[in-house]
Structure 1
Amino acid sequence: MAEKVKRPPFFTLKRWQSAKENGLKTPMTPTSSQPQDSPSQFRSNTPSVSRKVNFDLKPRKLSAGGISELIQCALCLEVLHNPKMLPCQHTFCTACLSVYIADLVIFECPLCRTRVQVLGPNFVENLPSNLYIDSLLQLVGINTNGVTKNLETPPPTPSVTNNAQNNEFFNPGTRCVHCKSICENFDITQCDHCKLKFCRICWTQHLEDMRIQLKSIVKQLDTAASHLEHKIEHYKDRCDRIAEQIKIAADEKIAAIFEEKDKMLMEAANMQKSSEMSALALQASLAEAKSVANRAMDSCVSDNENDRVKTFINLHQNAVTLLSEVSKWDTERVVFDKENFSLEKDSGTPIDSESEDPVVDGPKQNNPLESEESLIMHYRSRNFIPHFQWRKSARPCGIGVSPWSNHLYVCGMDSHSVFVMERSQAKIITRLSSEEMLCPVQIAFMKSLGEIYVTDKWKHCVHVFSKDGEYLRSIGQKGSRLGMFRSPEGIATDNANQQIYVVDTGNDRVQILQPDGKFIDQIGVATKQQVHYSSSVWESKELTCTELNSPTSVAVTNDRVIILDSGNGRIKIYNKQDKGKIIEFGSMGQRKGQFRHPEVLTVDPMGYILVGDSGNCRVQVFKPTGQVIRVFGGLGTQAGKFGWISGIHVTKQLDIIISDTKNHTVNFF
């Protein structure tokens, strides 16, 4: 053992070990080289004591050979200098730990890979010392600062002179859980918190450790108080916005109700008149047919049997036609929609809804993106059971895949940061964070500029990072004017035009900005002249209104902008050039094609829309025209089920990644 260790600090250990071995053959002075006459004389004089002394010295000989490993730092491979102990009980030099941790917020122990959180700038200095290692360093002649003492004469081996002393040395006691030393029961203190037992020296250090932990508890309480303040502020802003919406909606309805009333009354009168006219014509036809039939029965029996047959055939055909018209007369139903204050017509024709179950015997598709039919068959026949579930974030939200590294970015709402994950191994490689970031919700990328954009719901802004993770700037602030936000959520980018689409949820609009934050345009907001009743006088004034109600997500394609109007339970598609609406579909409910509190959407390479129907705990797949082709998911915690869908992304290879904030998972399909 001594020959393998070549570093100078262990030379003293080697010499002390040799002296210790020689001490077995010397009286009381370890430096003496005179051996005893014979081992048998020592055993004959004190037989019982000799056996116990030899039993005690043998493990010391073996353990002293491994002392060099115990007092060696695993980072610098030198003798421990000012050693500090991590919560996992592994000990390293203070300087080595400072260099190893650097600016990390969370690091792993170099030996056991236990994750440790850095609490404050003086985290390393506040770590406790390892009393056992300190004792070893002093034993071999090295103080805790790494200075070797003069060990010309190693400490004498304690001698056992009589059986009384030997029995006292092996008296039973209680072992300290920290330093593993056996002490008398009155020197042992049991902690009421962790139920562990400590000696007097380790108890003092344990009390100091608990005092340090109190700082972490205070910090957590301060963070919780800050979170509560932001939530209260967000709730107050939303209540004020709701009150404003109520007033605006009331004014709009009061002003428009008379115009809409006359319009719908006229429409209802026209429908009634048209129906009455058709009914009168039908009644006249029925009366005429009945009269002809009665005359035929009351007339004299004709000698010509052919005339009787022709009369019967004509009456029968006429009756069948009239009966068919009578059955179809009330097929079309007119329903008054109180919520939308409109008349809706329902033909009553059954709709051939798509099946929610996968097609088992469907043909295999080599390339689902080859055609529209192959893509539809791909979604209908696919078994949506995740092949992997990632559970490293408490409340994962928005997700996205970077265009330059193919890494997965996951917004952590509670961690105030964005996790960057290597997809093949599902391993976190870094994080995007800033002191200004409070509640990251959604994420988007600008490949041409190499920038990352993260919406912050509580900070009411958009944080901008470089592709290397460097924080660059923030865009916007709290407000309702152009370029300002109230609780923004969804975000998307137009890489060709270098534009950012931000869903301004609190202001019920989608703003289009330049990367530097300059306002370009907005969607969903219009200004019109509205009649207003004030002081018993009808007045006309200019009113700003929006057709969106708490939008939460947006996606941008080559020629379209798809917006998830969560408050209205609708998907609205606009032209990217003139911002005109192309189509909208969806409603509130639980059936296929309906939504309950939908939060996120995404678009696959062929323009198919995938909507995270959070309130119904499912994902619905639509054609670009709005036709639903597949519904999968459901409420639950098992694989393939969801608690609350908070993020969704589709890769170019049609891999679907869905985050679930209530089940605390990121599902890979």
Structure 2
Amino acid sequence: MAAVDSLQEEFVDESLTCSICKDIYDDPRVLPCLHTFCAQCLEQLREEMNQFTCPTCGNQVKCKNEDSIKNLPSNFYINKLLNFWALHNSEEARCEMCESGTRVESVCADCKLLLCGNCLTAHGNSPALKDHYIITLHDLKDPGSRSKYTGAEYCPKHPDVRTTFYCQPCAKLVCRECTINEHRQGFMHSPREVSEVAQKYKDRLQTLVQKTQDTVDALKNTSNTIGKELATITTNSQVEKAKIKEHFVQLKEKLEKAEQDMMVKLKEMEKKQREPLVEEKEGFEDMLRSTEDGVKFCADVLARNNDVEIVTLMGQLEDRLKFLAANQAKREPLEKHITFQPSTEIKYELNLTCKQLVIVDSPVESVPTIIVFWPQKGQEKGAPQITVTSPSGYCVTLETTKISEGVFEAVWRPQTSGRHVVGVVQTGGGGETTGRRRWGRFSGKEGCTPLIVEVGSNSPVLRFGNKGSQQGQFDRPMDVAVRGDRLYVADTDNQRVQVFDLNGKFCSLFATTSNPESLVVQADGTIVVQCGEEVLKFSPSVELQKKLYLGEHCAKISGLAVQRDGRVVVVDSSQKIFLFVEADGTLVTQLKGQGFMQKHISSVCVDKEGNIVVVDSHQHCVQVFDSGLNFIRKFGEHGRQPQDMWGPTGVSVDSRGNIVLVNAGDNSDVGGVEHGKKLQVFRPDGTWVSTISSDGDKLNKPQGVAVTEDGHVFVVDSADHCVRKYKYM
């Protein structure tokens, strides 16, 4: 009996329990993905958002109206099992056929009778009842052995008649009497026997099952392949781990040997420097003692004040004091110091110099790099200039700044990747060059050589997302915004906004009324989203607070921004810019005319001063207005050079006022700076600073951009359905 109870409990846990509420099913409903949950549990998910994902498989379910859950089909079989389970566990559940009071072991869905074991046998032996649908305790213990169900539903209008027909136009089960009245064969109705319709459906389903089984087999094979690859990775990693350990054991031995050699060499160099200084010190100490003795003798003679003694020794005292006074302690200070110059290789050098050219960190394309220079003795006068020659032969000169006595610094922002040559041009005191003398890293020999530097490509430091509707996936993302440590992405065709941390880890999402195309997050966490002709305002807890319909003012909204006073700036690609009061959408200002002759406005943002930065993708330029929409400046022109623009589509401004621009480029499949698919950085006055275009993982169809406080920029790519993160400062 205990074994039976255990099986029954296991069946309830596996087959009759909702995975959301962890309780027995209450009105089980089947989702399109064929997973079953309580209707009330699904209603709770629907109330939280207009679309939700299946808790089991993650498939998205869209709710068109409040009756969406009610319209989902019931799980007929689970309902039958629930009814029988409830009757079986009831103290009053006794056989209704023999009325012997024997405990129930089965139920006939057609007779609507609870049956004991004996009556179950008798029922099955009756030819008239052989097609009835029976559920037994054995079915509960072994769900795979449940008998075939041939139909046991009864017509709601004719309770004593089974629904043995199916009206396809109405998609309803009906009884024979209904086929004579409400569902008579004709233009509007076509009742067919359930078995006939079911057979057609079975054939179709069987074909689909076979195709799906092929997919299952393919997935199993792929999963097995991945499993083998994982095992291969583990085995390979273990082998390489052993190699790494062996390598670093040998490396430690080499390091220890190199350290010992360095210490020996240091000791020899120290001795070589000390010996002449020790001899020099001894000579000065002898001179000091002799001088002190002469001064003391003369001082004693004067102290005794003996006239005869003074007159007698005057000549000797005078000559000696003159001689001692002429011995000045003149010497050259120590100019050479022992310096240790480490290397990334197991190779080190000790040089008797403290003067060198040093590049701080590894240079990366478009990112500032610090160069520090110590001139050698005799070259301290004048301001040195750093020269950098690119792989193409183009040479630039960097002005240096004196940061301390004898130390100069220059800031270099490489514009291309590859091998560069860094040298120094020494100028005279007036700024003129003196023989164009070049200096590089000290080689330990006579003369100097230029410093060879490898500049790395500014590839994305992070990329996440691919096409799909699951969490962390995108379908044509169009815009991105950053506030604090959170990244907000307008997942346009999925009709939602997804939230991530700055490392690309998914945090949350919320649905929008339609396709979101641009968004901005205010300082207080309020999220403003543009969907078509509507502007939606969400609280920091993503509750919809306001909805502004702007169709009567705008033909096509192409971007929005929010000023510090809360007013929403909306740009229209038809040469207009509007400023709206946030509360009710009342038009405050409309600008069109001089200083604003755009052809196609593609994006807008507001800087920390309240200035409005507008991008024109057809005229390949940027225009800036103050908070009152007065024109300030315009910059940019079409071209393939790093400083030129090519179809700018997105813009953002950092806390320093730098303008970060993303360009769509032409239709070439190559990408890169030469084809205009690039990120650009400009100073607030429009001066070009740098261009980012990585060698690998190139931009495809970039849209919105957003900058962070730590010098990074996020770009959404609507064609690659992803977000990329670059370092730009």
Confirm or deny that 1:494 pairs with 2:563.
yes
Q: In structure 2, how many angstroms separate the alpha carbons of the residues matched to 1:71 and 1:478?
A: 51
Q: Determine if the alignment matches structure 1 residue 510 to structure 2 residue 577.
A: yes
Which of the residues 483, 486, 490 maps onto 1:407? 486
Report if the CA contact (8 A) 1:587-1:595 is conserved.
Answer: yes
1:619 aligns with 2:670: no
Post-superposition offset of 1:110: 4.0
Q: Secondary structure at the match of 1:662?
A: coil
Query: Contact 1:633/1:640 (CA < 8 Å) preserved in 2?
Result: no
Q: Provide the secondary structure at the position in 1 that maps to 2:558.
A: coil
The answer as to whether partners of 1:386 and 1:640 remain within 8 angstroms in 2 is no
Counterpart code for 2:520 = A
Q: 1:141–1:148: 8 Å Cα contact kept in structure 2?
A: no
Could you tell me which residue of structure 1 aligns to residue 70 of structure 2? Answer: 125
Residue of structure 2 equivalent to 1:322: none
Deviations 1:25-82 (A, max 9, x none): xxxxxxxxxxxxxxxxxxxxxxxxxxxxxxxxxxxxx854522323233444443333
* Aligned partner of 2:207 among 191, 195, 199: 195
1:193/1:586 CA distance change after superposition, 3 Å: farther
- 1:555 is matched with which residue? 605
Equivalent AA in structure 1 for residue 555 of structure 2 = R
Distance of aligned partners of 1:140 and 1:159 in 2 relative to their CA distance in 1, 3 Å threshold:
same
Whole-Å separation in 2 of the counterparts to 1:601 and 1:361: 21
1:154 aligns with 2:235: no
Q: In structure 2, do the counterparts of structure 1 residues 431 and 192 end up closer, same or farther at CA, with 3 Å as the change threshold?
A: same
Q: Is the 8 A contact 2:501 2:507 kept in 1?
A: yes
Q: Distance in 1 between matches of 2:659 and 2:146?
A: 67
TM-score normalised according to structure 2 size? 0.47
Q: Taking structure 1 as reference, are residues 93 and 632 closer, same or farther at Cα in structure 2, changes over 3 Å only?
A: same
Provide the secondary structure at the position in 2 that maps to 1:123.
Answer: coil
What does residue 106 of structure 1 align with? 51
In structure 1, how many angstroms separate the alpha carbons of the residues matched to 2:92 and 2:554? Answer: 64
Is 1:525 matched with 2:606? no
Q: Match for 2:560: what amino acid? A: I
| C-alpha deviation, 1:377, in angstroms | 7.0
Shift of 1:596: 2.8
Q: Which residue of 2 aligns with 1:427?
A: 506
Distance of aligned partners of 1:441 and 1:90 in 2 relative to their CA distance in 1, 3 Å threshold: closer
Q: For residues 229-267 of structure 1, what are the alpha-carbon distances to aligned partners after superposition, in whole Å with 9 as ceiling and x for unaligned?
A: xxxxxxxxxxxxxxxxxxxxxxxxxxxxxxxxxxxxxxx
2:458 aligns to what? Answer: 383
Aligned counterpart, 2:365: 358
The 1:422/1:121 distance shift into structure 2, 3 A limit, reads farther
Aligned residue identity for 1:501: V
CA distance in 1: counterparts of 2:549 and 2:27, whole angstroms: 49
Q: Supply the distance in 2 between the matched residues of 1:153 and 1:639 (Cα, whole angstroms).
A: 74
In the superposition, relative to structure 1, how do residues 575 and 98 fare at CA in structure 2: closer, same or farther (>3 Å)?
A: closer
Per the alignment, residue 67 of structure 1 pairs with 11
Change (3 A) 1:76 1:668: same
Q: How many angstroms does 1:654 deviate by? A: 2.0
2:476 matched residue in structure 1? 395
Contact 2:607 2:654 in 1 (8 A): no
Amino acid at match of 1:443: L
Distance 1:82 1:358, change over 3 A: same
| 8 Å contact kept, 1:566–1:598 | yes
Please tell me whether the aligned partners of residues 557 and 570 of structure 2 are also in contact (alpha carbons under 8 angstroms).
Answer: yes
1:442 to 518, 522, 528: 518
1:418 equivalent in alignment to 2:497: yes
Do structure 1's residue 464 and structure 2's residue 537 form an aligned pair?
Answer: yes
Q: 1:414 to 1:197 in 2, by over 3 A?
A: closer
Structure 1 residue 648, shift from structure 2 partner: 0.5
RMSD after superposition: 4.6
CA gap 1:652/1:378 in 2 versus in 1, 3 angstroms: farther
Post-superposition CA distance 1:418-476 (Å, at most 9, x none): 33445556325231523xxx44322123336x6433334x42x4333333333333446
**Contact 1:432–1:469 (CA<8 Å) still a contact in 2?**
no
Aligned position for 2:270: none
Q: Please show how residues 49-88 of structure 1 align to structure 2 within 5 Å.
A: 63-64=7-8, 66-69=10-13, 70-88=15-33
- Give, in angstroms, the shift of residue 147 of structure 1: 11
* Distance across 2 between alignment mates of 1:430 and 1:140: 40
Give how far 1:159 is off.
7.9
Q: Deviations over 1:76-111 (max 9, x none)?
A: 444333333344554333334434543433334445
Partner of 1:630: 690
Assess if the C-alpha contact under 8 Å between 1:555 and 1:563 holds in 2: yes
Structure 1 pair 612–77 and aligned structure 2 pair: CA distance change class (3 A): closer
TM-score with structure 1 setting the length: 0.50
Match of 1:571 among 618, 622, 638: 622
Give percent identity, aligned residues only: 21
Shift of 1:569: 0.9
Instruction: Tell me: CA distance 1:631–1:413, structure 2 relative to 1, closer, same or farther (3 Å).
Output: same
Aligned-pair CA distance for 1:652:
1.3
Q: Take 1:361 and 1:469, find their aligned partners in 2: how far apart are those partners?
A: 39
1:154-553 pair list within 5 angstroms:
154-155=104-105, 156=117, 190-192=202-204, 195-196=207-208, 358=365, 362-363=369-370, 376=413, 383-391=458-466, 392-402=473-483, 406-423=485-502, 426-427=505-506, 429-434=508-513, 438-447=514-523, 451-456=526-531, 458-459=532-533, 461-475=534-548, 477-479=550-552, 484-495=553-564, 497-506=565-574, 508-516=575-583, 517-523=585-591, 525-526=593-594, 546-553=596-603
Question: Unpaired runs of 5+ in structure 1?
Answer: 3-13, 19-61, 161-177, 199-355, 366-370, 527-544
SS in 1 for 2:104: coil
| CA–CA distance in structure 2, aligned partners of residues 624 and 551 of structure 1 | 20
Residue aligning to 1:267: none
1:497-548 CA-to-partner distances (Å, cap 9, x unmatched) read: 4443322221x1333344334545455524xxxxxxxxxxxxxxxxxx9422
Tell whether the 8 Å contact from 1:453 to 1:464 is kept in structure 2 after alignment. Answer: yes
CA distance in 2, matches of 1:97, 1:147: 32
Between Structure 1 and Structure 2, whose CA radius of gyration is higher?
Answer: 2
Q: Secondary structure at the match of 2:40?
A: helix
2:103 and 2:607 map into 1 onto residues whose CA distance is 83
Report the Cα offset of residue 647 of structure 1.
0.7
- In structure 1, how many angstroms separate the alpha carbons of the residues matched to 2:92 and 2:71? 25
The SS at the match of 1:102 is: helix
5+ residue gaps, structure 2: 96-101, 106-116, 123-142, 150-194, 211-362, 373-402, 404-408, 417-454, 467-472, 666-675
C-alpha distance in 1, partners of 2:21/2:684? Answer: 61
- Residues 594 and 193 of structure 1: CA distance in aligned 2, closer, same or farther (over 3 Å): farther
Whole-Å Cα distance in 2 between the matches of residues 358 and 411 of structure 1? 29
Give the direction of change, closer, same or farther, for the CA distance of 1:66–1:599 in structure 2 (3 Å limit): same
**1:73 partner SS:** coil
Query: When the two structures are aligned, how many residues end up with a matched partner?
Result: 400
Please state how far the C-alpha of 1:639 moved relative to its aligned partner.
6.4
Task: Return 86-95 or 389-398, whichever deviates more.
Answer: 86-95
Instruction: Please report how far the alpha carbon of residue 361 of structure 1 lies from its aligned counterpart in structure 2 after TM superposition.
Output: 11
In the other structure, the counterpart of 1:294 is none
